[in-house]
Amino acid sequence: MAQLWGGRFTKQTDELVYAFNQSLKFDRRLFNQDIRGSKAHAEMLAKQGILTAEEKDLIVGGLDALKAKVDSGELKIEGEYEDIHSFIEANLTDMIGDAGKEVHTGRSRNDQVALDMRLYIRDEIDAIAEELHDLLSVILSIMDRNRETFMPGFTHMQKAQPVTLAHHFGAYFEMFRRDRERLLSIRERNNVCPLGSGALAGTTYPLDRDMTAELLGFDGSCENSMDGVSDRDYVIEFLDSLAITMMHLSRLSEEIITWNSNEYQFIDLDDTYATGSSIMPQKKNPDIAELIRGKTGRVYGALLSMLTTMKGLPLAYDKDMQEDKELTFDAIDTTKGCIRLMAGMLETSKFNADRMARSCQGGFANATDAADYLVRKGMPFRDAHGVIGRLVLTCIRKNCRMDDLPLEDYRKESPLFDSDIYEAIALKTCVDRRTTKGAPGAIDEEIRNAKAYLDNTEA
């Protein structure tokens, strides 16, 4: 058991306790961040005269060599080490001798792990923002190709008013755009370096905290050392952001599942993104969308776990915080994977434009437009609403659409109706007339803005 402590102990740690406490099997993912942090710390110690230039060169060279060994697979991150920090210090000391024991001067694992997690999450924010950018590009191209693909818009899962596929996907574009912006704002708000906080009360060495912060790409160092080692708000904000992204992915999945049903048939999933049944040969199931919907619960779980873990912790560091890692890593893998799969599934899917247009024509999705027609002819909207309501009833009795109802039936309800009513309630008219900002008739502007957003934020 390679541990960084033991001087005051007279007995070996119990095996079960050792296994329970050991975090190497999961915090090994912080290897690169730990190396980066240790190099910056050593540079700063040398500049402050706490390490000699030779010691610093040995340490920095040793850390680079250790990383090369791990990257090449020559050295595996495993074995009897308590955590990734012990693994690195022990292997560094094996490689460069006593200088390796100097790297921890003026540092505690408490500020070290806080730094590693911040760096890790910052890296992942950048990676996930890029994944979201890719997903947004796929959505934008669907919007671009489907400005005239009519479909019913729903409220309460009832046909409400006609929209277009471009407009429907425009709503998801906004959701994922906000997700991306939310992540970036979390990055900005939390970009301060905890290194130098020590165990909780700083150190007696003359550290230059601003220098380490700058070397590691932070905007500054944290103001309070006790907060520095015990703050996990950035983990919680990050998980919250992933949970919201998963909620959006899950809503879209739910729509895809509905659209893929035998009743709707709005979408045809590509064979590469669907699965079959072991017993029913006819099946083509939307398992990927269902799994994305299902995995949303896991990410919510991570957020709730972390909130619960933190809620009773007195200042400053407590080992409970080690629990942040596995659930954060799992939430990252899950969300990243789901974003990528959603992009692939959408990119390969075909939308059934005829089926969607036909669905628009049933269900009286143009009833509001018929009422608006009467308003244009001078009738107050509330009266027009009543007239059209009665006409809908007539259609239901006659089993026909408003588009096919004879003019004399219209005229029985109001003399304001003329033969131009049919043009006024045609699908294309219903969409084209809705030109308020953000409406389906103003989709060109919406698409222009979406495109400008993606162009200006190219990764």
Closest CA to 229 of 197, 255, 275, 266: 197
Residues paired with 151 in a beta bridge: 163
Residue 72 annotated as catalytic: no
Strand 220-221 vs strand 192-193: parallel, antiparallel, or unpaired?
A: parallel
Work out which of 38, 91, 110, 146 binds ligand ARG, going by CB under 6 A: 110
Closest contact distance (angstroms) between CB of 324 and ligand ARG is 7
Residue 23 annotated as catalytic: no
Taking a C-beta distance cutoff of 8 angstroms, is the pair 230, 253 a contact? Answer: no
Q: Which part of the chain contacts ligand ARG (CB under 6 A), choosing from 109-117, 121-129, 207-215, 217-225?
A: 109-117
Would you give the end-to-end CA distance of the chain in angstroms?
A: 44
Q: Does 33 bind ligand ARG (CB under 6 A)?
A: no
Q: Which part of the chain contacts ligand ARG (CB under 6 A), choosing from 52-60, 272-280, 317-325, 417-425?
A: 317-325
Taking a C-beta distance cutoff of 8 angstroms, is the pair 383, 400 a contact? Answer: no
Q: Which residue has the tokens 């495109």?
A: 451
Q: Does 309 bind ligand ARG (CB under 6 A)?
A: no
Work out which of 43, 55, 83, 111 binds ligand ARG, going by CB under 6 A: 83
Q: What is the 3-state secondary structure (H, E, C) of 7-68?
A: CCCCCCCCHHHHHHHCCHHHHHHHHHHHHHHHHHHHHHHHHCCCCCHHHHHHHHHHHHHHHH
Work out which of 302, 321, 339, 430 binds ligand ARG, going by CB under 6 A: 321
Cα distances (angstroms) measured from residue 30 to each of 33, 265, 439: 5, 46, 46
Q: Does 203 bind ligand ARG (CB under 6 A)?
A: no
DSSP alpha helix (H) spans, 104-232 = 109-145, 165-189, 209-215, 225-230
Helix axes 31-47, 84-96, angle to 10 degrees: 60
Q: Does 305 bind ligand ARG (CB under 6 A)?
A: no
Beta carbon nearer to ligand ARG, 27 or 43: 27
Q: Which part of the chain contacts ligand ARG (CB under 6 A), choosing from 87-95, 170-178, 315-323, 417-425?
A: 315-323
The number of residues in the chain equals 459
Give the residue at shortest CB distance from ligand ARG: 322
**Among residues 277, 359, 385, 414, which one is catalytic?**
277
Q: Which part of the chain contacts ligand ARG (CB under 6 A), choosing from 106-114, 158-166, 344-352, 437-445?
A: 106-114
- Residues between 377 and 406 with contacts to ligand ARG, criterion CB under 6 A: none
Closest contact distance (angstroms) between CB of 83 and ligand ARG is 4
Residues that bind ligand ARG (CB under 6 A): 23, 27, 83, 109-110, 113, 317, 319, 321-322
Catalytic center residues: 156, 277
